[in-house]
Amino acid sequence: MSNVKLLSFSGSLRAGSFNQALVKRAAAIAREAGAEVTQIDLADFPLPLYSPQIEAAGFPGAARELKALFVDHAGFLIASPEYNGSLTGALKNAIDWVSRPTDGEGPLACRAFRNKIAGVMSASAGPFGGLRGLQHLRQILAVLHTLVVTQQVSVPLADKAFDGDTLVDPMPEQLLSVLVGQVTQLVRATAPATPR
């Protein structure tokens, strides 16, 4: 069994989005490299906007389910569309819910993110490929004690880089392989030793 368990998802809720296609390709490369990848769609987790009042009234079931997936995986492949120079509200809201303590955790436990490894990527029909939003995502993940690998993938003019769900531009394809390689290597390196 693989000792590399990755959670793969996009910050886009739109069916057929370039970012959904990009992270699916990254997940496929990771599986080819021997990783165990769980691919999810944030649209399947109907989360209210994070509010301490809602949290105090009862942690939402969808948030608890999503957090369990984060806790259960050692690394993440995240495609983050750029909205007004930052990440999407859906992605930020999911991160906010998943980062909250549950089941008697201390406020700084951050089990879903602490000591995890992430690879980030983006795609956009514009000329910058969502690059500006990735900087914000890196900052947020760093605050949550997640190590983001140095390689990132930004696909500009995505309407020409993709043919349907297929990535036809060879440059981002090569960069995805480097990114996935960095994530899987670091997950393996930081995995707890297996008892003998």
CB atoms under 10 Å from CB of 88, counted, come to: 22
Provide the whole-model pTM. 0.94
Is residue 154 helix, strand or coil? strand
Q: Which CATH superfamily is domain 5-190 in?
A: Flavodoxin domain (3.40.50.360)
Going by C-alpha positions, the residue among 24, 22, 19 that lies closest to residue 6 is 24
pLDDT in tens, the chain (196 residues): 368 999 999 999 988 899 999 999 999 999 999 999 999 999 999 999 999 999 999 999 999 999 999 999 999 999 999 999 999 999 999 999 999 999 888 888 899 999 999 999 999 988 888 899 999 999 999 999 999 999 999 999 999 998 888 888 899 999 999 999 999 999 999 877 544 4
Each domain of the chain, given as residue ranges in start order, spans 5-190
Would you state the pLDDT for residue 155? Answer: 94
54 touches 60 (CB < 8 A) = yes
The residues, any chain, with a CB within 8 Å of residue 97's CB and separated by 6 or more, are 47, 50, 60, 63, 66, 67
Residue 190's closest CA among 32, 3, 2? 3
